Structure 1
Amino acid sequence: MKIKVTTIYVDDQDKALAFYTDVLGFTKKNDFGNGGYRWLTVVPAEDPEGVELQLASNANPAGKAYQQATFQQGQPAIQFFTDDVKADCDAIKAKGVTLRMEPTDVTASTIAQLDDGCGNIIQLTQLNW
């Protein structure tokens, strides 16, 4: 078995697509709809056949409740790993995004956090081991 798709809920799929592609550098993989439902995924630009991140509408009440509770608790909805968290944060800030947490050394890693503007906290992690 392997992980092929993981999902986060967003309050605006178009806005989320712009953020994940224009700010974080992902590439749109799938975007199609059926009867008001939209299947929208992005992948890392350097791994187009890798794990897809579904940007699912939080129109589903259970999804919206989960998304809001996670955000209110300050928990990241997703975590992305990077080889250079400081450089990535500098690039993200240059695009006008304010970090919730600047790169911070924690046990065996350096982490930073930002809002995706669509109801989620994103954590960037650089392993230090």
Structure 2
Amino acid sequence: MKVQLTSIMVNDQDRAERFYTEKLGFQVKHNIPVGDARWLTVVSPDEPDGVEILLEPAGYEFARTYQAELYAKNMPLTMLFSEDIRKEYAQLVEAGVEFRGEPAETMGGISAIFDDTCGNYLMLMQVTQPG
């Protein structure tokens, strides 16, 4: 068993597509119209056949409530990983990504939290300690 697809709820797919590709550097893998939305997935350019992130519209009230509650409590929806967080942080800040603070030591690594402009905080993490 393996993970091939995961979702990030977004409140605006067009904005999400721009942010995740132009700011974070992902590339679109699938962009298929589905009703009023799209099956819109992005992947790392370093792993084009790797795990896809579905930029999924928060189409249900309970999903919007969940997303808003996480955001209000400053809790990241999910984590993205980096091999060199300080370099990545500098590049993302230069690209206009807004972080809540600089990378800091945390249990098992170094992390920094940023706003994806689509209703979520995400954590960028570099693992420094195995296991």
Say yes or no: TM over 0.5: yes
Q: CA deviation at 1:124?
A: 0.6
CA RMSD of aligned residues (A): 1.1
- 1:42 and 1:85 map into 2 onto residues whose CA distance is 20
**Aligned residues, how many?**
129
Secondary structure of the corresponding residue to residue 30 of structure 2: strand
Question: 1:34-53 deviations in whole A, cap 9, x for unaligned?
Answer: 32231111011100111110
More strand by share: 1
Identity %: 36
Question: Hey, what does 2:10 align to over in structure 1?
Answer: 10
In structure 2, C-alpha distance between the alignment counterparts of 1:109 and 1:16, rounded to whole Å:
27
Alignment correspondent of 1:32: 32
Q: Could you tell me how far 1:97 is from its partner in structure 2?
A: 2.1
Letter in structure 2 aligned against 1:64: R
Determine whether 1:92 maps to 2:61. no
State the partner residue of 2:80.
80
Question: Per-residue deviation at 1:16?
Answer: 0.5
Q: Write the distance in 1 (CA, Å) between the matches of 2:62 and 2:50.
A: 27
5+ residue gaps, structure 2: none
- Alignment partners' CA distance in 2, 1:12 and 1:53: 15
Shift of 1:59: 2.4
- The runs of 4+ residues in structure 1 deviating greater than 2 Å are none
- Separation (CA, whole Å) in 1 of partners of 2:66 and 2:41: 20
